[in-house]
Amino acid sequence: MTTEGENYWASPTSPPLVGSAGPPHALGAEFGFISRSGGVEPAEQRSRRGEGIALGVTALLILIAVVGLLATGPATAGTDPMSGEEKRMVMAAADIATVRLAARACPGTSFGSGFVVDGLLFTSGHLVEFDDIVKVDRPGQPVLASVLGTSRSHDVAVLDASSLVARPLGLASGPAEVGEPVMLAGHPGGAGLQVLDGVVVSYQSASSWGMNGDNVMLIDTGTEGGFSGGPVLDRDGDIVGMLAAVDKTTGLTVAIPVGELSLIVALADATWSSTESTSPVSHVAGVCGN
């Protein structure tokens, strides 16, 4: 990944092929879903006779300790289903943090979603390909936001969020585990916010899915137009990915994982500051062809 802002931030590329009409990626039919009904199998119970009271008590204490670790240890906690309270908390965070966007397209209007991190607004780069000032809002609170720049390699756009009223979100400290429940937030077709349940299926090479970057996150819940740029949230309400596209062969949602997203956020922080009016603007809106 290029770390020099003036080279990294450039005009956007075309939308990812995995989400468009046309031939699907070559590997689509080979990927299956991870079973959502699986889990950690309980350990075999072992019984010993005639070993004496002391040995029996020792074995019981060991069994209790092992069961406690299985129930509370980090190896399994991430893949446990979200509780009702966790879902309500994540949905509340998404409701006040996920904005919708409307940008000039070629032709018509392009709708998408976005979120604020560190005073900057992030969304999908292909949404702003033909616009440089975008209507952004939580429903009922529209503002105009300037597009500061777009990552050529990751299809991520950065916008000025200084006039936007939206709760900032935090980035998760690490990637979501395979099998971990997540929630996907977005504004389908530019309508009201929708928050969907999902499970992380796997991580795959981005190039095999017709996208740039190193890896992509695959989620078992399909989304639709307008979700692009929306956050993928874990049980703590932190961002573990950005929604990018949907594969039409498998129905899997494709997202940019937090590992790559955090690099983009750090570079954007270094390039633009919400309090600096002299920060460079590198985005140039595309021109519609005939």
pLDDT tens, residue by residue, 53-70: 344 434 434 443 433 444
pLDDT at 179 over 90: yes
14 or 188, greater pLDDT: 188
Secondary structure of the chain: what % helix, strand, coil (to 5)? 25, 30, 45
The residue-averaged pLDDT of 228-238 equals 97
Q: Is residue 34 part of a domain?
A: no
Q: Is residue 207 part of a domain?
A: yes
Regarding whether 220 and 149 lie in a shared domain, the answer is no
Which helix (H) or strand (E) element contains residue 246? strand 239-246
Which phi and psi angles does 128 have, rounded to 5°?
-110, 20
Regarding whether 226 and 194 lie in a shared domain, the answer is yes
Q: Is residue 238 part of a domain?
A: yes
Regarding whether 222 and 87 lie in a shared domain, the answer is yes
At residue 17 the predicted structure's pLDDT band, cuts being 50, 70 and 90, is very low
Regarding whether 232 and 102 lie in a shared domain, the answer is no
Q: What's the pLDDT tens digit per position in 136-159?
A: 987 667 899 999 988 867 889 999
Regarding whether 236 and 122 lie in a shared domain, the answer is no
Residue 54 to residue 6: CA distance in whole angstroms: 71
Q: 39-49 burial by CB neighbour count: b if 16+ within 10 A, else e?
A: eeeeeeeeeee
pLDDT at 245 over 70: yes
Regarding whether 192 and 109 lie in a shared domain, the answer is no
At residue 206 the predicted structure's pLDDT band, cuts being 50, 70 and 90, is confident
If we measure between CA atoms, which residue out of 131, 190, 187, 140 comes closest to residue 159?
A: 131
Please answer whether residues 14 and 126 qualify as being in contact, where contact means their C-beta atoms are separated by less than 8 angstroms: yes
Q: Is residue 65 part of a domain?
A: no
Domain that holds residue 238: 80-94+169-260
